[in-house]
Structure 1
């Protein structure tokens, strides 16, 4: 960080807040308005804190490596705007004499996923004199837009839980810290929110189809460019969600039974085709190589850790069969670890507190509702089925691929809002069922019910 960070950051913060206050009325209602600015402020705080911790605690890291690349691109832009724009928007394949001088200094120039982040950061850098902290604020604002879209989508599905949903999406420390600054994770959590919004409004609600489809496709493009495995974890549960929603609308029980196998096979087939086509030839994510890559990643990351943050979920040889064998432990480590006694530093302690919250809510909910009734409730509500399946699939992926808690805390943030949101929605539904059995009204204030209408 430099002197210009101190000078320009307050100015750009004022600009961002001015924009936020001007658009808040359009995207909030009387009950959600109070969360808009605090949630955005936490994102800005997370972006600034990320840079400070990487500089003064870790002494460097990926976030500054991204900025190093943007500095070179900004230098190119000042010397030749054409060369700078080609580095941001042009192809990295082949030899281009106009950018060769600068491309040779960019060690991530041919690393597609990392350079995708560099492109976005360099583009934002053109508007702020390539100031690191301000680029982080741009990333935070972009991430917030997707997460607010995620919040609006959950509210459309279950508006009564608006307070708890705000906690699940905006106020988890790991999510607003790791998902706010100049990192891949900020792009991914924002893009996932746009995909969720676009998918629900296009395929389930069938409203604002053109706008929703465009927003969703933008999110899909970003996930494919940065972390395609998040999209691969999203697709199968999403296709099952479409089946469950449409299956519930079929009045004939016989027709539902006849069509159920067909829709399931269709969903599985579409998910497999999507996964293989999206990853074909990709050195990192090709389905044929994913087990091998997972084994290599896990062993490498574990071997690099000397501060006690490594974990072991059992041995696997890289085959998909061995991954299935360690899947239950991967889910436990992703959702409920590190335990409090495993925390070795302040960052791990925050993650351990969140994991303890997840464990407490899960055990408490299943205990109060009953295991069988809880599973029946999950199976009967498409949104719960989707959230839990997505969380479990992604938990298996990141749990087997990480090998230490330091990287796991970043990898798992996309699933955290969905898992916690599902727990809170399930909690409300179970409570409503208990009240119904006792003949108690669930909501006796029509005026408040009208206020719960989501403004989009």
Structure 2
């Protein structure tokens, strides 16, 4: 590939960064913007190196290799490529059989990602790492916007937002590079930021209205079951905020939270009844199928073991607490000596400590409660349980849980005692820096 292609793409990426930095909301990030960006882009490259030279295989390489076939088709027969891109018309069974994830192309988010990468290939000259930079920048866009909007409306928790969405290691690493998880994260964070701004009475800009359907489509296409949880929660939040404008009784935070919890309970009851009437056991069957497939790949190492998991509501409910806790706090540091598991275990130990500090803050009345935070907590509870039930493999779990982990880290980091620790660490760092400056 010519040097010119690299130069042009680097200039285009730099232009996108410049436009992003000029957005008014990014001022809330201060000096964290560029370090966060560099960390994100670097993780996108490192993820590719990890899969290419350590694992030798993986989804990211499968996506890229599949995209090369589509890009070759685009150069040979643009009409056939467009028909495949828009209508999943393969033209021949031979082509379909040669491509991955084509059993159900209309529903496969993996095949959708392959098509996106094939389009990028036309711009990047089929460079894996240039594609990874574009994916990482999209993910950073959504994450940075949400961190900035949270910093604007909850300035006392600015450090928590910046750490959770821009610097928490596993969140940034698995939310980068040429994987569908980064695309999911970028669109998800953008939508949450939009809902928060709308709920706070911020006027909607024309460009936001243009981007909204695109972000909704991407998020739903990437993770339908997560969208089925998060979007109703955000709609309930917006409905209660709208009612608060016209009904004085809804302006009290306690009332808002109670209404949201009642809506959640009623929604759960309604779904249960719908499942009974329309026999939606196939959803549970899919969860169990995913669990069994990943479990078969995990027996050689540490994994979540949910004994006698069955495709019934009663069985799911019985295993829910174990699945929820395991998806957040496992693997433990002692469960494996493999380097990646040790790193994940150390991070999970930190999450456990932060959880204890948050519980202590709540018990002592030193934790701020808001409708938005409760909405995030409801989403975390449901998403973590669903992912824990369907994903016993800790390698896959590390990736999939970024769908809820940044929100959890954000809530945990802003507890009174966690903020006290961060303030003391920051003060110690400032004193140390001042001493070094004095000696110089």
By how many angstroms is 1:428 displaced?
Answer: 8.3
Instruction: Tell me which residue corresponds to 1:334.
Output: 327
SS at match of 1:413: helix
Once the two structures are overlaid, the 10-residue window that deviates more, 224-233 or 151-160, is 151-160
Mean alpha-carbon deviation: is it higher for 293-302 or for 404-413?
A: 293-302
Q: Greater shift after overlay, 154-163 or 255-264? A: 255-264
Q: Compared with structure 1, are the counterparts of its residues 366 and 247 closer, same or farther at alpha carbon in structure 2 (3 Å cutoff)?
A: farther
Q: 8 Å contact 1:384–1:426 — kept in the other structure?
A: no
Residue 153 of structure 1 corresponds to which residue in structure 2?
Answer: 149
Partner of 1:59: 56
TM-fit CA distance, 1:231 = 0.8
Aligned Cα root-mean-square deviation (Å): 3.5
Q: Does residue 363 in structure 1 map to residue 356 in structure 2?
A: yes
CA drift of 1:73 comes to 1.1
2:169 maps to 1:173: yes
**Mapped contact 2:327–2:397 kept (Cα < 8 A):** yes
Q: Secondary structure at the match of 1:341?
A: coil
Instruction: Give the alignment partner of residue 73 of structure 2, picking from 76, 80, 88.
Output: 76
Q: Out of 423, 440, 443, which is 2:412 matched to?
A: 423
Give the TM-score normalised by structure 2: 0.82
Q: Which residue is equivalent to 2:370? A: 381
Q: Which residue of 1 aligns with 2:21?
A: 24
Structure 2 SS opposite 1:340: coil
Does the aligned pair in 1 maintain the 2:109–2:222 contact within 8 Å? Answer: yes
- 1:73/1:254 CA distance change after superposition, 3 Å: closer
Q: 1:119 aligns with which of 106, 115, 118?
A: 115
Q: Unaligned regions of 5+ residues in structure 1, if any?
A: 432-456
- Out of 220, 223, 229, the residue aligned to residue 219 of structure 2 is 223
The 1-side partners of 2:254 and 2:22 are apart by 46
- Residues 302 and 117 (structure 1 numbering): CA distance in 2 closer, same or farther, change over 3 Å? same
Change (3 A) 1:314 1:381: farther
Greater relative contact order structure (CA < 8 Å, 6+ sep) = 1
Q: Which moved more, 1:243-252 or 1:405-414?
A: 243-252
Q: 1:312: which partner in 2? A: 305
Per-residue deviation, 1:185: 0.4
CA distance in structure 2 between the partners assigned to 1:410 and 1:145 by the alignment: 19
**2:135–2:183: 8 Å Cα contact kept in structure 1?**
yes
Partner of 1:195, secondary structure, is helix
C-alpha contact (below 8 Å) 2:142/2:185 kept by paired residues: yes
Deviations 1:233-259 (A, max 9, x none): 213432442355356553248999999
Q: Does 1:413 align with 2:402?
A: yes
Q: Secondary structure at the match of 1:305?
A: coil
Deviation of 1:173 (Å): 1.5
d(CA) in 2 for partners of 1:304, 1:6: 41
Q: Structure 2 vs 1, CA of residues 134 and 256 (structure 1 numbering), >3 Å: closer, same or farther?
A: closer
Deviation string 1:49-104 (CA, Å, 9 cap, x unpaired) is 1111111111111111111111111111111222233333x212xx664x766444
Find the aligned partners of 1:294 and 1:242 in 2 and give their Cα distance.
30
CA distance in 1, matches of 2:230, 2:157: 23
CA contact 2:145–2:189 (8 Å) conserved in 1: yes
Deviations 1:127-172 (A, max 9, x none): 0111111111111111111112221231233023222211110111
Q: Deviations over 1:241-280 (max 9, x none)?
A: 2355356553248999999998777676778999999xxx
1:174–1:8: structure 2 CA closer, same or farther, 3 Å change rule? Answer: farther
Equivalents in 2 of 1:274, 1:236: separation in Å? 13
Moved more, 264-273 or 321-330: 264-273
Q: How does 1:156-235 map to 2 (within 5 A)?
A: 156-208=152-204, 211-235=207-231
